[in-house]
Amino acid sequence: MSFPGVGLAKGLAVTLRTMTRKSVTAQYPDVQPVLPPRSRGVIALLEENCTVCMLCARECPDWCIYIDSHKETLPAAEPNARARTRNVLDRFAIDFSLCMYCGICIEVCPFDALFWSPEFEYAETDIHELTHEREKLREWMWTVPAPPALDPAAEEPKEIATARKAADKLAAAAAAEAAAAVEEKGDDA
């Protein structure tokens, strides 16, 4: 059962309905977009954690990470000990004109020195400006969001688990010692 012109009327209804709804346009420079969690905007460097192991630079598919360092000798802590050497970071730079935002450097970093930041507004008029040096990479660190909360039934984080185990052991040892002390007292009496 259909009248002639029903399709035409339906078309009019569709456009009229769309007009009354909120439009989907994102007014970007005026209104910031809502980014999904773990957005890959820019890579931040926490240089205090960096040991100059060079894993990130070697794993980078684009070879866009530049690291320079030198070794420093620390004076021996005890008279007969060997003097320790330590790597000191001189330069850490990421060329974002080459970076393809794969995140391998962040995955591979064994000391949690690299992080994703959702900041994305760092376009430049000169391509050389896209090579961010360590100061700038450190500044991005302030924009890194806190890690998302764990799932309700998730396993405990490794660090906390280890710390808790150690604390438990200590508490158990203390309790055993106390119990032993009480027993000794009882024997004496």
Pick from 1, 2, 3, 18: which binds another protein (CB under 8 A)? 18
Pick from 1, 2, 3, 19: which binds another protein (CB under 8 A)? 19
Note whether 144 and 115 are within 8 A (CB).
Answer: yes
Pick from 23, 73, 80, 125: which binds another protein (CB under 8 A)? 23
Q: Does 21 bind another protein (CB under 8 A)?
A: yes
Rounded to a whole number of angstroms, the minimum distance from the CB of residue 23 to another protein is 5
Note whether 117 and 143 are within 8 A (CB).
Answer: yes
128-166 burial, b if ≥16 CB within 10 A, otherwise e? eebbbebebbbebbeebeeeeeeeeeeeeeeeeeeeeee
Binding residues for another protein, total number by CB under 8 A: 13
Q: Does 12 bind another protein (CB under 8 A)?
A: yes
- DSSP one-letter code for 156: P
First-to-final CA distance of the chain: 105
H/E element, 168: helix 158-188
Rounded to a whole number of angstroms, the minimum distance from the CB of residue 140 to another protein is 31
24-63 positions binding another protein, by CB under 8 A: 24-25, 27
98-127 burial, b if ≥16 CB within 10 A, otherwise e? ebeeeeebbeebeeebbbbbbbeeeeeeee
Rounded to a whole number of angstroms, the minimum distance from the CB of residue 8 to another protein is 7
Instruction: Copy the structure tokens of residue 57.
Output: 């630079």
Rounded to a whole number of angstroms, the minimum distance from the CB of residue 125 to another protein is 23
Stretch that binds another protein, among 20-28, 46-54, 114-122, 126-134 (CB under 8 A): 20-28
65-94 positions binding another protein, by CB under 8 A: none
Stretch that binds another protein, among 5-13, 71-79, 149-157, 165-173 (CB under 8 A): 5-13
> Under the rule (CB under 8 A), what is the footprint of another protein?
8, 11-12, 14-16, 18-19, 21, 23-25, 27
